[in-house]
Amino acid sequence: MEAIVLAGGLGTRLAGVVSDVPKPMAPIHGRPFLCFVLDRLVDSGFKSAVLATGYRHEALSGYFGDAYRGLALSYSVESEPLGTGGAIRLAWERVGPREIFVLNGDTYLEVDYEAMHAAHAAADAMLTLAAFHVGSAGRYGTLEIAEDRVQGFSEKGRTAPGWINGGTYLLAPSLRALLPAAHAFSFEHDVLEREVSRLRPHVFRSAGRFVDIGTPEDYARAASVLCAH
């Protein structure tokens, strides 16, 4: 299993809380948040990962180098912002035409990657998405699911409970042809949402811990979530 980790986030909403570093490098008890994400990959048997970087990319390569706990690391570097979709497209070139896990470097979700891979294969899916259930989905927007397939995406703002996109995907090689030719684009909006009826994303439900450090409030609680036993 190989992974692309999107690690080019600027962390603008964390300004004043975190120093001028890429969001995945925000410290949690003295370690970059990204360490916790990579720990999950190592413990799950991954052998290599591509860190998709851009803003202050040298902060990541300088800290992690070419390996982390035996996990071989390489880097794709954006010369200009490409959005999540453009970042995936650029990093995928370093992997070759094979299926690949994609993770957000500023989101931690405990996923059983082997079980997710098996479910992906059994469903003959082009894309499998890890979902997480929250008590109030207002910040995220919920997934509209039927028979373990995503049918659509609800708007943000609804505070009811629901399944949300956990930010972890497994992409089949055939998906590469659907990535827009546009230089910069959003994977979530321009691929997942726009092509949902064609992709019919398979849903893999996760019950593990989840934390997204996108806001100062969630960043503040990240340590208690990640260091809980």
Phi/psi at 135 (5° precision):
-75, -25
Q: How far apart are CA 212 and CA 103, in angstroms?
A: 12
Q: How far apart are CA 92 and CA 97, in angstroms?
A: 8
Nearest to 140 by CA among 120, 157, 128, 126: 157
User: At 225, is the pLDDT very low, low, confident or very high (cuts 50, 70, 90)?
Assistant: confident
| CATH node for 2-132+167-226 | 3.90.550.10
Per-residue pLDDT tens digits for 187-209 = 999 999 999 999 999 999 998 89
Tokens of 86: 């453009």
What is the pTM assigned to this prediction?
0.93
Q: How far apart are CA 153 and CA 183, in angstroms?
A: 25
- In percent, the amount of the chain with pLDDT more than 90 equals 63
CB distance 184 to 82 below 8 Å: yes
Q: How far apart are CA 153 and CA 16, in angstroms?
A: 32
Per-residue pLDDT tens digits for 157-182 = 667 788 999 999 999 999 998 898 88
Residue 155 has pLDDT above 80, yes or no: no
Question: Identity (one letter) of the amino acid at 104?
Answer: N
> Domain coordinates of the chain in residue numbers?
2-132+167-226
**Higher-confidence position of 47 and 14:** 47
Nearest to 72 by CA among 23, 20, 5: 5
